[in-house]
A and B are shown apart, each in its own frame.
Chain A
Amino acid sequence: MASLPKRIIKETERLVTDPVPGITAEPHDDNLRYFKVTIEGPAGSPYEDGLFNLELYLPDDYPMEAPKVRFLTKIYHPNIDRLGRICLDILKTNWSPALQIRTVLLSVQALLASPNPNDPLANDVAEDWIKNEQGAKAKAKEWTALYAKK
């Protein structure tokens, strides 16, 4: 395997020495481009008190290409589908090499705080969210208690 670019080493060090509140990211022992990530559900959202597991992978072309991020914990959210795939512009068309692992994870955390049912990935969830927001939020809270226990 090719040696790890300096930028990735720097980012990893900073994630450990100066972590983002409510977010942890640790590289895998066997593959330093593969990170085990946890994100705490933002306070005031239906995901409050939940701890969500994610995986993050830095492709060979990183930072020219966005990291691949996926939820491993089941979550009821209009922009996250059953497979944990996330619909977030900065992970696709609006990626910029000035973004980093920490800023990406912060954006994912912000997405939990403000779901966007008008640009859905999980169509049924988004429909539910638009038709019956209270009910959908209650279900999201239920799933959080069920699958994202700390």
Chain B
Amino acid sequence: MKVSVKEVYPVFAWSWDTDTGSKAFFHNDPQHNERPDFNNETYTFLKNYRNDEDDVCGICRVSYNGVCPNCKLPGRSCPLVVGQCNHNFHVHCIYRWLDTVNSKGLCPMCRQEFTLKEDVIINTKHWEHFMTLLSKNRERRLLMEREEQDLNNEIMREEDAGEQDGTEGQQELEEEDDMQYDDDDDQEI
């Protein structure tokens, strides 16, 4: 029998190489502590095969190979990053979290300070942006802590002043009022 191939439709698949996932898979198998002697095809197949519930972004709960809630196309436009703690997220998801004051710069999964893992290829493109974000966040937190401290000090001082002389607080208030009027005048001019 002779078969002639008229047309070929190649199909491609891809997934982020986070490295951590494949290691975890093989460590589960006591017989193979090292990467076993599979050919590359089997290796890739097995690695993709465990793309189950665990392989979702811990923030948006969409597969690592999918997109964050604000993107349409997966892949380069919505990449993945690997944390030092081995927790993976869509870069947009973790940036959005770290950009909130509540995050305190911590990983959502393990509450350790979140930093990018070194020597992981998919992280390399993000270092600069990430460092800017980190320092911005740290500054903001410091500022907030300082403001809180100032506020506490002020309250304590007022309490002390109140105990020493009841009229002092009243005077301060009046002075502030005057200053406000001054401001208003300036604006009108």
Binding site for B on A (CB under 8 A): 5-7, 10-11, 63-65, 93, 95-98
Contact = CB atoms under 8 A, between A and B. Distances in A.
10 contacts: A5-B69, A6-B61, A6-B69, A7-B61, A7-B69, A64-B100, A97-B58, A97-B59, A98-B59, A98-B109
Given A6-B69, A64-B100, A96 B60 contact: no
B120 interface: no
Nearest to B67: A6
Contacts of A5: 60, 69
Nearest to A5: B69
Given A7-B69, A65-B102, A97 B62 contact: no
A7 B102 contact: no
A64 B60 contact: no
B140 interface: no
Interface residues on B, range: 10 to 19
B62 A64 contact: no
Given A64-B102, A98-B59, 17 more contacts: A6-B69, A7-B60, A7-B69, A10-B61, A63-B59, A64-B96, A64-B97, A64-B100, A65-B100, A96-B106, A96-B108, A96-B109, A97-B59, A97-B93, A97-B108, A98-B58, A98-B109
B157 interface: no
B32 interface: no
A64 B69 CA distance: 12
A97 B97 CA distance: 8
B30 to A, nearest CB: 29
Given A6-B62, A10-B61, A63-B59, A96 B96 contact: no
A98 B62 CA distance: 12
B50 to A, nearest CB: 20
B111 interface: yes
Contact of B62 (A7, A11, A63, A93): A7
Nearest to A64: B100
Interface string B37-79: 0000000000000000000001111100000010000000000
Q: Which 5 A-B pairs have the closest CB atoms?
A: A98-B108, A96-B108, A98-B58, A97-B59, A7-B61
Contacts of A10: 61
Nearest to A95: B102
B89 to A, nearest CB: 9
A61 to B, nearest CB: 8
Nearest to B99: A64
Interface string B77-101: 0000000000000000100110010
Contacts of B102: 64-65, 93, 95
A144 to B, nearest CB: 34
